[in-house]
Amino acid sequence: MKRIIEVCVIAILMSAPVFAQGGPGVKEIPYDSVPNFLKLPPNMYMGEGIGVARDSKGHVYTYTRSGATRLYEFDEKGNFIREISPGNYGFEMAHGVRVDAQDNIWIVDEGTNMVVKFNQEGRPVLMVGRRPDPFDGLPTAATFYQNPNPPMPYRFDRPTDVAFDAAGNFFVADGYGNSRVAKYDKDGRFLKTTGSRGNAPGQLNTPHSIQTDAKGNVYVADRGNNRIQVYDNDLNLVKSITGIGAPWAVCITPGPHQYLYSSNSSPESNNSTQMATSGEIYKMELDGTILGKFGKGGKLLSEFSTTHAMDCRIENELLISEITSWRVQKIILKPVASAATK
Amino acid sequence: MKHPVFVVTAVVAFLAVSGTLFLAQTTIPSIPYDSVDFLKPPANMPIGEVAGVATNSTGHLFVYMRTGPFNITVGTSRTFPHGSSRLLEFDQNGKFVREIGRDIYAFAYAQSVRIDPQNNIWVVDQYSNMAVKFDPEGRVLLTFGRRPETSRVPNVTLAAPAAAAPTGAPALPGGQAGAPARGGGGAPPAAAGGPPRGGGGGAAAGTPGDSFNRPTDIAWDAAGNIFVADGFGNSRILKMDKNGKFVKTIGGRGNGPGQFNMLASIAVDAKGNLYVADKGNNRIQVLDNDGNPKAQYQNIGSPSAICISPGGHQYLYSSNSNDPDDLERGEIYKMELDGTILGKFGRAGHLVKEFGSVNSIDCRTENVLYVGELINWRVQKVTLRTK
């Protein structure tokens, strides 16, 4: 009898987050996708849609894995403006792009292990991390996933994303190799680090995306652990948000009432089984309460083929960057009128 | 009663042992200075780690930088490295003038550029194991060393700490060593006790000629004799006459007088004495023109870039550069040639007036320095304030 109870308790515990959050009963948010949002000149192409971000003017930056990793700027209508710093020493394998409050453009590159801040003129003005020199050689297959580098203050191991607080401090999600978050002041000086590989509270398994709210709390997409971990500004763990699948990309809207978006992206977009059971994006309150979800895996317009990044500077007008469809979709959410307004 | 006596004795003993260090560090004045981010490259010109910086007699600035990815292409049975380092010329206002030697065979992983009294431009490349002399128009006049025909991709275990690099690691074709090798201005002082990364006794050690293993810098005496710091792989100086004819090799790996552990930089004074940034041994060594050791200067950290100003009264600058993995140290010392420290300025950091892994200094004008930084991808024009 006792054993049966134990089994039941375990079963309930294991399944509880699913029922509590992303399972049946979560409201579907109706939405449209704008066809051909980004318009490139002839013979310029998007590659894998890795990073996308808007600045204060609504200009769109994409960091894409093409033949070479490239950083493009478009205007708010999706018209191509320019390529920024082609051939930059920090570009190799795109992973993230974000724009800070001063409209500086930050890229995170998991190939060079660098975070590079560009000013609006497109000049690199702050570099953190360093491209390995050729004398370092290549890791062997055996060491590839073994966290070869200890998490040193200024050395990343396949970093994934960067976020900023109101004071200009920035937080680097680092990443595939190190599974930690590192905090720096506005001048690029290391302040502290938290996390190591694991699934205990405060541990991380591939922190894949990172955002802050207006109070400076830090939201880390702990992708491998199927949760968003929330830290205060000093990187003390506050809480964990679960029941939303594997968060690949997170985004927090600006404004007085902030919302949190998180994408349960399909791990392999060429696996039809996975595509059928994932790909949805959740809209939440900052406390993790799910308000609704939208989307599913797929190649068509308004479907998502492994969402890798989201911009949500405009609450109900998201930019969604997908790995395998080589595109950025502009998604218009159509909030359903609540019962009170009917 | 006994206790205070013991303390006093201990303090006296401490001062006796380390007095020079103790006194020197507490009395070094800070030199006030200003700085500007100097280069004004055209939009979208790739800028990368500034490895070398040097002015010519007209005030133009030559910058040798690591600008692009280091690629390996696969051949039938071998792999071929392709670097992307570039030599750029800027005018006295920092405006871009021209590029020299685009995609030249020697440009792989930038290390140093120096300008001789005739305004010839000399470049040292750490990966191609070459030094190249260009005339002022940019034509190749002399080459030293040879780029490896092929390069086996070093297949190392990155988990091995730097200091634990296996000794006697097999030398790879072209003198690239199989030991975990980092550097390019980045070795922490802690590496001083162990064998330097990248060497392990490269094939070129002791070879009577211009066969280099990660060379780092070049200098000349008044007669035109050439001195190559060779370098991070080998730990020796190669002396050649002005025509590039072999004269002798100087030094070898070790920490005794006349031995080196990672030669990062070299300069020659008006009398022909050699000043060597013996980075891994945390000292500058002074040798006479034939390579006989004369003096050692310590208490200046781990010298990564040195420069001697011209003129009747020459000064010696030395940077205690931070490792790219930290923002510690970073100050630059101004010294008399006899090693007397006159002052210091700066610290490691990303801001203007801070320094990020300084790899080269130009000091053609005594109190106006051009400082090239690896991790900040930048040249700062530093002006020391004089009373």
* Structural domains of chain A ordered from first start: 26-335 (2.120.10.30)
A140: pLDDT confidence band, cut at 50, 70 and 90? low
Please state, for a pLDDT cut of 70, what percent of chain B lies above it.
Answer: 79
A111-124: pLDDT as tens digits: 999 999 999 999 99
How close B83 gets to chain A, by Cα (Å)? 9
Cβ separation of B69 and A92 shorter than 8 Å? yes
pLDDT reported for residue A151: 73
DSSP string, A66-131: SSSEEEEEE-TTSBEEEE-STT-TT-SSEEEEEE-TT--EEEEETTTTEEEEE-TTS-EEEEES-P
B319 within 8 A of B302, measured Cβ to Cβ: no
Give the nearest partner residue to A126 out of B68, B325, B350, using CB atoms.
B350
Assigned token pair, A90? 């920090």
- Check if the interface score ipTM surpasses 0.90: no
Q: For B162, which DSSP code?
A: G
How close B108 gets to chain A, by Cα (Å)? 10
Query: How many residues are listed for chain B in this entry?
Result: 387
**For an interface test with B, which of A72, A84, A135, A146 has the most B Cβ atoms less than 10 Å from its Cβ?**
A135
Q: How many CB pairs under 8 A join A and B?
A: 109
Short-list B36, B35, B33, CA closest to B384:
B33
How close A80 gets to chain B, by Cα (Å)? 16
Q: Which residues of A make CB contacts under 8 Å with B?
A: 83-89, 91-92, 121-124, 126-127, 130-131, 133-140, 143, 146, 148-149, 152-155, 187-190
**For an interface test with A, which of B156, B326, B354, B379 has the most A Cβ atoms less than 10 Å from its Cβ?**
B156
Short-list A137, A197, A125, A241, CA closest to B351:
A125
For residue B220, CA distances in Å to B136, B227, B252, B360 come to: 17, 6, 20, 16
| CA–CA separation, A296 and A281 (whole Å) | 8
Please state, for a pLDDT cut of 90, what percent of chain A lies above it.
Answer: 81
**For an interface test with B, which of A71, A114, A133 has the most B Cβ atoms less than 10 Å from its Cβ?**
A133
Average pLDDT value for residue range B343-365? 98
Cβ separation of B376 and A127 shorter than 8 Å? yes
Give the nearest partner residue to A134 out of B43, B70, B351, using CB atoms.
B70
**For an interface test with A, which of B102, B182, B350 has the most A Cβ atoms less than 10 Å from its Cβ?**
B350
Tokens 């300008």 found at? B115
Cβ separation of A87 and B46 shorter than 8 Å? yes
Question: Given a cut of 60, is residue A236 above it in pLDDT?
Answer: yes
Cβ separation of A137 and B377 shorter than 8 Å? no
Higher pLDDT, A317 or A17: A317
SS (H, E, C) B48-81: CEEEEEEECCCCCEEEEEECCCCEEEECCCCEEE
| HSE (side-chain half, CA atoms, 13 Å) at B59 | 9
Q: Which residues does chain A have within 8 Å of residue B182's beta carbon, measured at their own beta carbons? A: 133, 135-136
Question: Given a cut of 50, is residue A231 above it in pLDDT?
Answer: yes
Q: Which residues does chain B have within 8 Å of residue A115's beta carbon, measured at their own beta carbons? A: none
A14-71: pLDDT as tens digits: 443 434 455 678 999 999 999 999 999 999 999 999 999 999 999 999 999 998 999 9
Short-list B78, B72, B98, CA closest to B86:
B98
For residue B381, CA distances in Å to A265, B54, B355 come to: 49, 12, 12
Higher pLDDT, B157 or B83: B83
